[in-house]
Amino acid sequence: KFYGNSVPELKQNLSRIGILFGRYVEDINPLADQNLTDDLNREKKWDYDANGVRADVFAIYEPPQQPVKHGARFLTDPRQDVVQGMAEAMGLEPVGMIICKKKAKANPKGFQTYLTAKELLLVAKLQSVFSDESNFSRFGCVVLEHSDMIEPVGLAASDTCMALERAGLLDTIKGSPYKLRTKLPEGADPSLMPKIFIPKDQDVSGGRHTASEKLSTGDPFPMDFLTVKIIATQSRGARKLFLHHDFPVQGGMKELKNYMQRYSNQGFAKKFSDFNLLINLPKLMGDKHTETCVEIAKCIGFHEEFPPKISNELDTFFIKNQLF
């Protein structure tokens, strides 16, 4: 559905963004306890943590936004706290950002053209927002390019990129959407500017060359050196959370009535199994039903039956508003 919602932007060669809501789970490495041999038949042991962490994504929230050239930017979202609260009740949290965009031309030197500089800085900013007290973030980004074969690409800003963005030391370059440059914040001491080295410009190996050169403030450079690739694939073993995905992002009472009539043969637990419906529920039912909305979100998020009290309250609300 998110891809379909992005069609107007794609027709104008613009991008659409969303926030991925899901859960972090331990990603079991089945080979971690095994001793293997390398190509020369020498014994080799794993030298990293046995298991990793993956994010199982269950929903996409499309906040108010403004498409701009080579990216998009978030607008003030009056529902931010409500969406966050309802998602938490479902046991979900923001785990990443998703971008739907036109496929860009390949770079002749092999550098990435999935994220523009504006988009990478936005990812870095969001990673800082959704990080722990040590500024460590598991937040990532998924890119969907419009093409005959849509394959999700997973990327993230490196720790260095996060630190530079947080300090206001990175800037975009007009006319070079896939390059960044360093900048000195107004009033800052030039001697405090970090030293940055990148592979030499004639390198055509996509960043694998060992020869390097120091960047001066304002020098453009490819973003690959601040980008990390992550795996984006179908979930393995995660139980499906939502049965429906057709309630509008900003649905009202008219849309609610149509939705309920569409699924009139289903019980409440199945009817309400739609992320957009749940985050709109507090607005639709009103302040006096806030606790009920949260309880409904908990039931859906953890596959629990609705308590009789909740079902009775919903019956009363639906009859009063002629939603059946």
CA quadruple 16, 17, 18, 24: dihedral sign = positive
Per-residue confidence band for 233, with pLDDT thresholds at 50, 70 and 90:
confident
CB 181 within 8 A of CB 171: yes
Mean pLDDT of 121-141: 93
**CA neighbor of 207 nearest in space, from 220, 229, 222:** 222
pLDDT tens per residue, range 21-77: 999 988 776 665 555 655 556 555 544 445 678 899 999 999 999 888 788 889 999
**CA neighbor of 198 nearest in space, from 155, 227, 165, 230:** 227
**Distance separating alpha carbons of residues 100 and 9, to the nearest angstrom:** 9
**CA neighbor of 220 nearest in space, from 198, 194, 204:** 198
Global pTM reads 0.86
Which of these ranges, 23-32, 95-104, 274-283, 284-293, has the smallest mean pLDDT?
A: 23-32
**Distance separating alpha carbons of residues 274 and 248, to the nearest angstrom:** 10
